[in-house]
Structure 1
Amino acid sequence: MQEGKLIIFSAPSGAGKTTIVHHLLGKIPALEFSISATTRTKRFDEVHGRDYYFISKEEFLHKIAKKEFVEFEEVYTGTFYGTLRSEIERIWSQGKHVIFDIDVEGGLHLKKKFGDQALAVFVQPPSLEILIERLTSRGTDSDEKLAERIVKADKELKYANRFDVIQKNYDLETACSEAVELVSNFLERD
């Protein structure tokens, strides 16, 4: 199997990484989205096998024991997310490069594991205050979950300088076009 490259987009929840990743998938045909596994509950508009692989906590822990993950985290108390080795192999077997939309710690684990084969991009929001506004306006989380996301976001913003590139998302259209150029340049390099 021919190994490809890995494009890692990480950011605190609400920074715009998912929107940027979807834009890249529409612009760069050589990319394929890595679907993460999670134990969290599926949201109303999400589809198993498209947005995430939704699995039980027991199944997730079993896969950890069998070393089926290249990285995993207990992102929120009792809620796990991870990247299955088989997912990366599936994408590479199609002759494509893997693109991730992943939390900050997971992104750093992937970068450490794959080194120069990976481009790690941190999507930086204009400020923590704007991030809080974005998360609140989503209306998808309970007050308790929202508070947990805000505490995590504040911590994650401090990790930005550990990534290859800090992608400022002050204007989404600009951030998307800069991301296309950045990723295209990385994929063209040997």
Structure 2
Amino acid sequence: MPRLILFNKPYDMLSQFTDRGTETARATLSDCIAIPGVYPAGRLDRDSEGLLLLTDDGRLQSRIADPKYKTAKTYLAQVEGEVTDEALAVLRRGVDLKDGLTRPAEAKRVDAPDIWPRNPPIRVRKSIPDCWISLTIHEGRNRQVRRMTAAIGHPTLRLVRWRIGDWTLDGLQPGQWREVQVG
């Protein structure tokens, strides 16, 4: 039976087990997870937080991470400015990025989620409001959500991946993980 680990990756942690190429050691998955033989199914950028799945099964890893399977990934994004209905409509149709048009996303404004504080906190500018959106995508281009929100004029201030397929962050604090059964 394949192993599947749900991990809440903290801000400023690499989505890998080792840090090569820098003199200053950065936080990695090995700081929180000591399970041999599991590897991330996809990744989260160092400045993003939230759900990262790890498995010891190559087929499961591919099913989760490969864009051809169109696994839904839901993000909570705190963005600069007040997002309009028109801007959300652009996200729902697909955004034209330098590497092509994105697939249509599910996008809506949401109340600020009741989640852990980020350390360090985001940069707050008193003269510019911010708001939260929920964005579900079915692909996984490099920094895609950040590029999509920037393209509609609302740069991302904080990005938390909340769900991948049927798996969510519910009950996991940053740095915590749990193993689940794969059905």
Q: Normalising by structure 1, what TM-score? A: 0.27
Q: From the two aligned structures, give the one with the greater helix fraction.
A: 1
Q: Normalising by structure 2, what TM-score? A: 0.28
Q: From the two aligned structures, give the one with the greater strand fraction.
A: 2
